[in-house]
């Protein structure tokens, strides 16, 4: 009705603006939740308090950030977490290929191995807090294996806290990788694998030379998603399990931003830190754009 | 004839034993923390102290009832439910409309808009919280559920739009041509063609988004600091601080918080798998 009425006189204009009407509600929320805050942190990060009490624009916050050893430590900690992505990817691939080999009960295995991904990070964190504690299962197993000298407070040790957090992240994220890779494996053409088997390729040869090359797209996708996770989504693990400690040994960028914003109440520093993290993720944005658009074009 | 066949079967069975062992090992690793949480929740504290890993002896419901009655868990549970449902409604409606525009119309800025959505999926929420906090204080929404509902709805839009665009594009254009000849306008087609035919994609999207909202910690922690307004995840983290002396009680709390997602998972495993795989595997 509305369109009919409009189409007599202003039909062309309505047609021109119509798509934007559909976009309007989403745009309002995106501007509010993403774009305004991004502009605001850039502005706040450049504002500095001068001794005379007047605020001017400058790079003081950035200078303070770059002179802060904890900032470098936090950035380095995120970097160390990135190192667990290859381990995570290889483990997920291995399990997915094993499941793909028509083992009995593969659906049950898939169901169990994917389950940790459904658990909330705080829940996983609290539980592993006990499991990794002084009298937790890890240390108990070590002691019963006669390796008592290795037993320790895993989350309380400067040396072991980050590897321990990595293990917990791998525990939760592996389910996602397995499901993703398995779905791709099941869409492969079986003839090629059968041909390879007939030609006498063994298990490893078959999967290394035939399966893996065909999985390259989905592997790339998973690696990018997990790199993003290690930079942008690890706050909850750190907050629940260690509170950034001992000292700053497990402080990551997200946690340090939160700390400056809400515990130290220094919005300038928090904003400068946020801008730096944003810059680091920009590289991933480029990768993400390439990958996501490619997969969409292939599907269309 | 019979012997070689059964021999071959035995041989394949034997060959799969190493695979089975690896898979059983990983399954135990995957399930162990959940097992630990479940058995601990039904133990008394003295029992837990010298029997950390075995089955409860004696078996007690005390922790579950304590968590439900003494603590604020029912309140937080309700808040989580309100926040999850409201965020999902807003984000699904708003994203479906936007995805429809991108999939169905040609207009200036379309490619830019879609690329922006893909790029925004990468932004860490930690970067956004400080300006949003100041904003919520100024519009007097801090410590109120609508603050996190707005933020979650916004955060979920990029992924939701992305997923729905790829689905809407796969609908046959002939349907829309026919409807157009029958006098349907674009909004009619949205309601009568795109949405009904996308029910599987919508359900998948809702399930995956529900998981995100229910489990989210950082935003809930920052924006809902008032005890009565907390959701489950920040509530539980704080719960841990208060009751560090009673581990079984804490595990009872986390178990209660986990049950809805486990149920959702048991009934909709396929949906989770489809939602997470969407966009990556074609």
Query: ipTM score here?
Result: 0.86
Listed in sequence order, the residues at least 6 apart from B18 whose beta carbon sits closer than 8 Å to its beta carbon are none
A14 contacts chain B (CB < 8 A): no
Could you tell me if residue B280 is inside a domain? Answer: no
Name the CA dihedral angle for A294, A295, A299, A300, rounded to a multiple of 10 degrees: -40
Searching chain A, which residue's CA lies closest to the CA of residue B266?
A111
Q: How many CB pairs under 8 A join A and B?
A: 287
Could you tell me if residue B281 is inside a domain? Answer: no
Across the interface, whether the CB atoms of B150 and A171 are under 8 A apart is answered: no
* B148 shares its domain with B198: yes
Q: What is the pLDDT of residue B20?
A: 85
* B8 shares its domain with B87: no
Q: What is the pLDDT of residue A296?
A: 62
Report whether B72 contacts B235 (CB < 8 A). yes
Report whether B20 contacts A98 (CB < 8 A). no
Residue B115: which of A3, A127, A289 has the nearest Cβ? A289
Alpha-carbon gap, residue B68 to A125, rounded angstroms:
22
* B147 shares its domain with B129: yes
Searching chain A, which residue's CA lies closest to the CA of residue B119?
A285
Collect all residues of chain B within an 8 Å Cβ-Cβ radius of residue A271: 130
Collect all residues of chain A within an 8 Å Cβ-Cβ radius of residue B26: 95, 109, 113
Could you tell me if residue B253 is inside a domain? Answer: no
Q: Nearest CA to CA, how far is B115 from chain A (Å)?
A: 7
A13 contacts chain B (CB < 8 A): no
* B59 shares its domain with B87: no
Burial (CB count <10 Å: 0-12, 13-18, 19+), residue B13 = exposed
Alpha-carbon gap, residue B23 to B28, rounded angstroms:
9
Could you tell me if residue A195 is inside a domain? Answer: yes
State both tokens at A278: 């944003």
Could you tell me if residue B89 is inside a domain? Answer: yes
Report whether A179 contacts B276 (CB < 8 A). yes
Q: What is the pLDDT of residue B116?
A: 92
Q: Give the total number of structural domains in chain B.
A: 2
User: Number of C-alpha atoms within 13 angstroms, CB side, residue B199?
Assistant: 4
Report whether A277 contacts A231 (CB < 8 A). yes
Could you tell me if residue A41 is inside a domain? Answer: no
* B27 shares its domain with B76: no
Q: What is the pLDDT of residue B244?
A: 65
Q: The domain spanning residue A161 has which CATH number?
A: 1.10.3720.10
State both tokens at A87: 């381990």
Across the interface, whether the CB atoms of B122 and A277 are under 8 A apart is answered: no
Residue to test with chain A: of B94, B110, B122, B186, most A Cβ within 10 A? B122
Residue to test with chain A: of B130, B160, B163, most A Cβ within 10 A? B130
* Residue that finishes a domain, picked among B13, B47, B64: B64
Could you tell me if residue A194 is inside a domain? Answer: yes
Q: What is the pLDDT of residue A5?
A: 47
Could you tell me if residue A61 is inside a domain? Answer: no
Could you tell me if residue A163 is inside a domain? Answer: yes
Q: Give the total number of structural domains in chain A.
A: 1
Q: The domain spanning residue B141 has which CATH number?
A: 1.10.3720.10
State both tokens at A18: 């119509």
Would you tell me which residues 35-74 of chain B have a C-beta closer than 8 angstroms to some C-beta of chain A? Answer: 36-37, 40, 52-53
A263 contacts chain B (CB < 8 A): no
* B148 shares its domain with B221: yes
- Positions in chain B whose pLDDT score sits under 70: 1-4, 241-244, 275-276, 278-282
Residue B279: which of A44, A104, A295 has the nearest Cβ? A295
- From residue B254, give the alpha-carbon distance in Å to each of A143, A154, A170, B106: 28, 22, 20, 49
Nearest to B163 by CA among B103, B86, B87, B85: B103
Range of the domain at B9: 2-64
Listed in sequence order, the residues at least 6 apart from B240 whose beta carbon sits closer than 8 Å to its beta carbon are A126, A240, B250
* B93 shares its domain with B171: yes
Report whether B256 contacts B98 (CB < 8 A). no
Report whether B242 contacts B186 (CB < 8 A). no
Could you tell me if residue A152 is inside a domain? Answer: yes
* B169 shares its domain with B119: yes
Range of the domain at A89: 80-242
- From residue A114, give the alpha-carbon distance in Å to each of B143, B159, B203, B266: 35, 21, 19, 11
Collect all residues of chain B within an 8 Å Cβ-Cβ radius of residue A258: 126, 129, 218, 222
Could you tell me if residue A282 is inside a domain? Answer: no
Could you tell me if residue A62 is inside a domain? Answer: no
Could you tell me if residue B114 is inside a domain? Answer: yes
Alpha-carbon gap, residue B45 to B24, rounded angstroms:
31
B251 contacts chain A (CB < 8 A): yes
- Tokens 């000292």, residue located: A247
Alpha-carbon gap, residue A216 to A185, rounded angstroms:
11
Searching chain A, which residue's CA lies closest to the CA of residue B105?
A19
Report whether B144 contacts B229 (CB < 8 A). yes
Across the interface, whether the CB atoms of B157 and A26 are under 8 A apart is answered: yes
Alpha-carbon gap, residue B153 to B143, rounded angstroms:
17
* B54 shares its domain with B94: no
- Positions in chain A whose pLDDT score sits under 70: 1-11, 102, 295-300
A142 contacts chain B (CB < 8 A): no
Collect all residues of chain A within an 8 Å Cβ-Cβ radius of residue B89: none
* B87 shares its domain with B217: yes
* B104 shares its domain with B157: yes
Quickly count: other Cβ atoms within 10 Å of residue B153's Cβ. 27
Quickly count: other Cβ atoms within 10 Å of residue A189's Cβ. 9
Q: A55 forms bridges with which residues in the sheet?
A: A49
Could you tell me if residue B268 is inside a domain? Answer: no
Burial B46-56 (b: 16+ CB within 10 A, else e): ebbeeebeeeb
Q: What is the pLDDT of residue A224?
A: 86
Across the interface, whether the CB atoms of B217 and A239 are under 8 A apart is answered: yes
Searching chain A, which residue's CA lies closest to the CA of residue B97?
A22
Backbone angle region of B232, left / alpha / beta, with phi > 0 → left and psi within -120 to 50 → alpha: alpha
* B132 shares its domain with B205: yes
Searching chain B, which residue's CA lies closest to the CA of residue A299?
B282
């Amino acid at each position: 009705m509305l369109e009919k009425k409009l189409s007599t006189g202003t039909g062309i204009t309505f047609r021109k603006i119509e798509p934007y009407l559909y976009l309007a509600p989403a745009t309002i929320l995106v501007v509010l939740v993403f774009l305004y805050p991004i502009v605001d942190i850039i502005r706040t990060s450049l504002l500095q308090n001068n001794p005379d009490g007047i605020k001017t624009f400058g790079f003081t916050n950035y200078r303070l950030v770059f002179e802060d050893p904890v900032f470098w430590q936090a950035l380095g900690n995120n970097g160390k977490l990135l190192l667990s992505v290859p381990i995570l990817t290889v483990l997920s691939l291995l399990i997915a290929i094993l499941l793909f080999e028509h083992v009995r009960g593969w659906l049950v295995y898939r169901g169990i191995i994917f389950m940790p991904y459904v658990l909330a990070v705080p829940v996983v964190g609290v539980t592993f807090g006990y499991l990794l504690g002084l009298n937790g299962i890890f240390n108990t197993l070590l002691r019963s294996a006669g390796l008592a000298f290795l037993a320790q407070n895993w989350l309380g040790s400067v040396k072991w806290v980050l590897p321990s957090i990595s293990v917990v992240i791998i525990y939760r994220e592996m389910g996602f990788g397995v499901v993703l890779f398995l779905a791709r494996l099941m869409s492969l053409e079986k003839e090629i694998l059968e041909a390879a088997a007939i030609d006498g390729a063994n298990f490893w040869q078959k999967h290394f030379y035939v399966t893996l090359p065909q999985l390259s797209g989905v592997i790339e996708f998973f690696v990018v998603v997990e790199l993003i996770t290690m930079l942008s989504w690890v706050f909850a693990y750190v907050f629940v399990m260690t509170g950034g400690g001992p000292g700053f040994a497990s402080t990551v960028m997200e946690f340090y931003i939160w700390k400056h914003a809400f515990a130290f109440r220094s919005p300038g520093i928090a904003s400068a830190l946020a801008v730096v993290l944003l810059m680091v993720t920009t590289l991933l944005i480029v990768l993400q754009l390439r990958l996501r658009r490619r997969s969409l074009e292939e599907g269309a | 004839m019979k012997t070689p066949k059964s021999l071959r079967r035995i041989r394949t069975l034997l060959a799969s034993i190493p695979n089975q062992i690896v898979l059983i090992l990983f399954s135990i690793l995957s399930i162990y923390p959940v097992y630990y949480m479940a058995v601990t929740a039904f133990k008394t504290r003295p029992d837990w102290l010298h029997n950390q890993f075995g089955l409860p002896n004696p078996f007690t419901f005390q922790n579950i009832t304590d968590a439900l009655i003494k603590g604020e868990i029912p309140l937080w549970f309700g808040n989580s439910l309100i926040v999850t449902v409201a965020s999902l409604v807003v984000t699904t409606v708003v994203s479906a409309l936007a995805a429809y525009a991108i999939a169905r119309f040609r207009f200036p800025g379309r490619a830019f808009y879609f690329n922006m959505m893909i790029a925004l999926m990468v932004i860490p929420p930690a970067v956004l919280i400080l300006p949003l906090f100041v904003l919520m204080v100024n519009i007097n929404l801090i410590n109120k559920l609508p603050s996190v509902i707005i933020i979650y709805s916004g955060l979920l839009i990029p992924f939701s739009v992305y997923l729905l665009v790829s689905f809407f594009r796969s609908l046959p254009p002939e349907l829309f041509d026919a409807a157009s000849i029958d006098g349907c306008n674009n909004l009619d087609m949205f309601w009568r063609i795109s949405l009904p035919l996308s029910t599987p994609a919508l359900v998948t999207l809702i399930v995956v988004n529900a998981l995100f909202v229910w489990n989210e910690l950082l935003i809930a922690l920052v924006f809902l600091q008032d005890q009565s307004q907390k959701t489950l995840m920040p509530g539980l983290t704080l719960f841990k601080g208060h009751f560090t002396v009673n581990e079984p009680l804490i595990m009872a709390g986390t178990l209660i918080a986990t049950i809805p997602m486990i149920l959702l998972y048991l009934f909709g495993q396929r949906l989770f798998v489809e939602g997470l795989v969407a966009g990556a595997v074609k």
